[in-house]
Amino acid sequence: MPPKIALRGLRHEYVNPFTRERVLALDGLDLEVGAGEFLTVVGPSGCGKSTLLGILAGLIPPTRGAVLVDGRAVTGPGRDRGVVFQEFAILPWRTVERNIAHGLEIQGVPRAERAATVRRFVELVGLTGFERKYPHELSGGMRQRVAVARTLAANPEVMLMDEPFASVDAQTRITLQEELNAIAQATGKTILFVTHNVEEAVFLGDRCCVLSRRPGRVKALVRVDIPRARRTWTLFTSDPSFGATKDHVLRLVREEVGGEESRP
Amino acid sequence: MTPRVETAALGLGVLGAALGAWSLAAATLPLPDYYLPPPTAVLGALTDLTAKGILPTYVARSLERILLAAVTGLLVGVPIGLVLGMSGRVSQFCYPLLNFFQSVSGIAWLPLMLVWFGFGERTILVAVNYTVLFPLIFNTLLGVRSVPRLYVNALRTMGAPRWRIVTDVLVPGALPGIATGLRLGLAYGWRALIAAEMLVGAQGLGYMIFNAQSFHQTARIMLGMGMIGVLWVVLDYFLLRPLEDATIARWGLVQR
């Protein structure tokens, strides 16, 4: 079966607008993601993780290389690839339900069907009772839930997630990770999830892709052989293979960081 | 007492004290009557001019002119500002131009406008509309430019066409700028209107206080000045604030 996503010989170079330096973010990156696979991408900060995601989303045209989804070249953003951004990208002037409905509105889905879908996803991400609130009335974790629900409701084939839980508190993050795991299991979507948190990467991924320091390439692909059903933090952390896999990935990342900021 | 009532009581106290001091000064200082008329004389002018129908007519004229300018300003200035703000290169070119025309206030234009449009309603309307328009265009442009790129990208990844990005992101995102532009534009426009009415002399509050000066009717001058201030406060409280409360304050884009 051909891969859902294929990146071949990807290279990206840009000029930092403030320092006017040329930055080689990615060079010679090859990667394949299977249909229905949950792939997490980790790497040292500044290794081009977010650039990679932006290229896949079609928001950044790469300098060189092929980006294929279902064998077709990506030429721009499209609703087959939904994105959950690192910062809160939901619109402040739309209520929770209207934010979640936004993708469906754009697709021209009729009102009644839209309302039903929105209700389902509001429930799925645990926002019942907050439908009429505006984003500024919600906590950070709730806002990111809206963002996840908005992307899910639009029903893309591929979900691209750029450190979506980086700016929520630790407790909420654990809940959101478990929820995302359940959603991945229930929907079977292809997900590419970028993070700098090794534990998160191992907890969520079917495979975990470690990027090298800049210019980013694929340093290693580590399979996580723990069934999705066993992925709650209490079960997961007690699984003997979790510790070993985490240490392995952590070691790979630390080799790239090169000494400083290397404490886990 | 609730804090609200306390604030109101304090305000009334300060106002009362100021009126008392004014009355005392008017009664005791060795000055001719027209120099500093007491508050009662201003009150007398108010009842007198209201009874004669002059004050209501002039207030209506001035309000009509400023509101007309507000509506035209919104209809013309906002679309121009949006279009300019959406195009990076055009906005870079227009920024200094708009800044320039914004600073040459309507009052500075008046002599030239009198030559072009004569002593009449046309000059007043052109001057006020001009003054309202530029801050509106300028701040709408800034408003569009300040919309986070992230919101635009989020919509693009949902497959939104360009017009949808305009209606769903750029216009609501520019509203804080539009509100600032309207507020500034009306504040400048209100000043320009009074000045234009003084020079052109076709009714209105500006005409009233300028005219009163020729007859040493100082109480009328003070009444007119008071009305100019009061009307602005009313305009702000009943028009601008509710508009902002229903939109940008509701969305958490500005703090109250």
- Read off the CATH number of the domain in which B217 is found: 1.10.3720.10
Q: Model confidence over B177-194: pLDDT tens digits? A: 999 999 999 999 999 999
Identify the domain containing residue B182 by its residue range.
54-227
Helix ranges (H only) for chain A are 49-57, 96-100, 102-107, 111-124, 140-153, 170-187, 198-204, 233-238, 240-257
In this structure, is residue B34 part of a structural domain? Answer: no
The pLDDT value given to residue A263: 44
The pLDDT value given to residue B4: 85
B158–A85: do the CB atoms touch at under 8 Å? no
| A87–chain B Cβ distance below 8 A for any pair | yes
In this structure, is residue B29 part of a structural domain? Answer: no
Name the domain count of chain B: 1
In the predicted structure, residue B1 carries a pLDDT above the cut 70: no
The pLDDT value given to residue A260: 47
Peptide bond into A110 cis (omega under 30): no
Closest-CA residue to B111 (of B119, B121, B101, B103): B119
List chain A residues with CB under 8 Å of B252.
92, 134-137
Per-residue pLDDT tens digits of chain A, which is 264 residues long: 679 999 999 999 999 888 889 999 999 999 999 999 999 999 888 788 889 999 999 999 999 999 999 999 999 999 999 999 988 899 999 999 999 999 999 999 999 999 999 999 998 888 999 999 999 999 988 999 999 999 999 999 999 999 998 888 888 889 889 989 988 888 889 999 999 999 999 999 999 999 998 888 999 999 998 888 888 888 887 888 888 899 999 999 998 886 444 444
Of A89, A93, A150, nearest to B172 by CB-CB distance is: A93
Tell me the shortest Cα–Cα distance from A130 to chain B, in angstroms: 15
Give the mean pLDDT of chain B.
Answer: 90
What pTM was estimated for this model as a whole?
Answer: 0.84
In this structure, is residue B18 part of a structural domain? Answer: no
In this structure, is residue B43 part of a structural domain? Answer: no
CA dihedral sign of residues B158, B161, B162, B163: negative
Angstrom distance (rounded) from CA B71 to CA B112: 25
The pLDDT value given to residue A55: 95
* Mean per-residue pLDDT, B69-86: 93
In this structure, is residue B8 part of a structural domain? Answer: no
B157–A82: do the CB atoms touch at under 8 Å? yes
Q: Model confidence over B4-56: pLDDT tens digits? A: 888 999 999 999 999 999 999 988 988 888 888 999 999 999 999 999 999 99
Q: Residue B71 CB: number of other CB atoms within 10 A?
A: 12
Indicate the domain borders of chain A: 5-80+156-257
Q: Which of B149, B150, B157, B254 is the best substitution to test chain A (most A C-beta atoms within 10 A)?
A: B157
Angstrom distance (rounded) from CA A168 to CA A143: 10
| Minimal-distance CA residue of chain B relative to A96 | B251
Of B157, B164, B250, nearest to A83 by CB-CB distance is: B157
> What does residue A176 show for φ and ψ, rounded to 5 degrees?
-65, -40
CATH class of A5-80+156-257: alpha beta
In this structure, is residue B3 part of a structural domain? Answer: no
* Mean per-residue pLDDT, B105-131: 90
Q: Which residues does B173 contact at the CB level (< 8 Å), separation at least 6? A: A93, B143, B144, B146, B147, B148, B151
